[in-house]
Structure 1
Amino acid sequence: MGEASLVFGETEDLKPKITHDVFINHRGVDTKRNIAGLLYDRFVQLDIKAFLDERSMGPGDKLHDSIESAIDKCRVGIVILSPRYCESFFCLHELALMIESGKKIIPIFYNIKPSELDIVEIEGNVPPEKLEGFSRALRQVRCTVGITFDSQNGNWSELISRTVDAVQNSLNNETY
């Protein structure tokens, strides 16, 4: 049977080919110029393949296809939860995709407490079934041990180090 599968081009491993070690999910208006960019740069320095929308895509790339493929083919998701995160359809959609695909999630509660995460008003019309999926994903991430950070009083260097350590530990302990 093994020979037949080779003849027909099938592979034993049906998991998606990993193209990124970590996917950085964030609300740009809150975090792109600080924590998201700093983490991406640190991952690049350490040779950890990171996906950050504006740095990982180029002109002509299809936004949704590129992001969904990156989520599907990543190993770990960093979710930077910020005060305006829950207003974004795209942030919540990416979070729900990561949860649904069983990705290891490392949440960073950036200027927000887990108990404050709630869908209040999302940009655009969102079908009820999507809203329910978003709510489930938020409930799950609220109950996941994460890193809490206050940008006014916190130590930025420590935040980056703790996050990178958490990602490296996840990548090193991952089983396939």
Structure 2
Amino acid sequence: MATLTRSVRRNRNQILHTHRIIRTATPNPNPNPGRACDVFINHRGKDTKRNVASLLYQHLFRLRLTPFLDNMSMKPGDKLFDKIHAAVNDCKLGVAVFSPRYCRSYFCLHELALMIETKKKLIPIFCDVRPSDLAVVPSPALPSAELRRFAGAVEEAKYTVGLEFDSRKGNLADVVKNAADIVIENLLEIDDDDERGHNDHSSKSLQIHHRRHRHGPEQLID
């Protein structure tokens, strides 16, 4: 963990500098709704909205990132499912704040399943709960297909390395800062991967262009 923290600190200025150049965000409790979402914060509101989730949102927003948190990123009149689906699809990664009653929430499980299905990088924070304690409880109101979908998403999240926080012993400020550092590190990796993919695509397109120019379109077999 110490090595990761040092690496994050070395790269922190790089990502902050990049975001400040390409964005002109000003302090505002509601981010620009037309801007792409960097981080989707998935949480059980009754458990963590007033602590981990809100503090992480505020911390990331001060770093000029664009986090999504339902009560901060939505306004009256927004279509709930449409807004959440769009945010999950647009986000670069997700943070799932697991808590003792997390698996009782349909929306928590639905958002988690969406992130897994869209193959978003997931950073779990296990807040006052162990990964092994997370389980979806069958309910007559929950169709069997949804139950399997939610259970599969929870199982995948349980076996993803994350942060653990015990509110009786831990420091809330520390877990928020550590989570933000890990988010920054992962955003850097995602941006680097995207840039490499763009460069590889451009290089391949350039090679095809040269082949066509050299041999003529009628001689090109691809």
TM-score under structure 2 normalisation?
0.69
Gaps of 5+ in 1: 1-16
Could you tell me which residue of structure 2 aligns to residue 76 of structure 1? 93
Gaps of 5+ in 2: 1-33, 195-222
Within the candidate set 151, 164, 170, 1:154 is matched to 170
Residue 27 in 1 paired to residue 44 in 2? yes
Shift of 1:145: 0.1
Shift of 1:68: 0.7
Shift of 1:31: 0.4
Within the candidate set 159, 171, 180, 1:164 is matched to 180
Within the candidate set 119, 137, 145, 2:136 is matched to 119
Q: Secondary structure at the match of 1:102?
A: coil
Q: Please identify runs of 4+ aligned residues in structure 1 that moved more than 3 A.
A: none
Q: Which amino acid aligns with 1:85?
A: Y
CA distance in 1, matches of 2:145, 2:90: 25
Shift of 1:120: 2.2
Residue 141 in 1 paired to residue 157 in 2? yes
- The question of whether the paired residues in 2 share the 8 Å contact of 1:18 and 1:75 is answered with no
Q: Secondary structure at the match of 1:78?
A: strand
Shift of 1:43: 0.7
CA distance in 2, matches of 1:19, 1:120: 34
Shift of 1:28: 0.3
- Structure holding more helix per residue: 2
Could you tell me which residue of structure 1 aligns to residue 208 of structure 2? none
Within the candidate set 42, 45, 58, 2:75 is matched to 58
TM-score under structure 1 normalisation?
0.87
Q: Which amino acid aligns with 2:106?
A: F
Percent identity between matched residues is 47
RMSD across aligned positions (CA):
1.4
- Structure holding more strand per residue: 1
- The question of whether the paired residues in 2 share the 8 Å contact of 1:76 and 1:104 is answered with yes
- The question of whether the paired residues in 2 share the 8 Å contact of 1:106 and 1:146 is answered with yes
- The question of whether the paired residues in 1 share the 8 Å contact of 2:138 and 2:147 is answered with no
CA distance in 1, matches of 2:171, 2:120: 28
Shift of 1:152: 1.5
CA deviation vs aligned residue, 1:143-164 (integer Å, no higher than 9, x gap): 0000000012101121011100
The structure with more radius of gyration = 2
Could you tell me which residue of structure 2 aligns to residue 94 of structure 1? 111
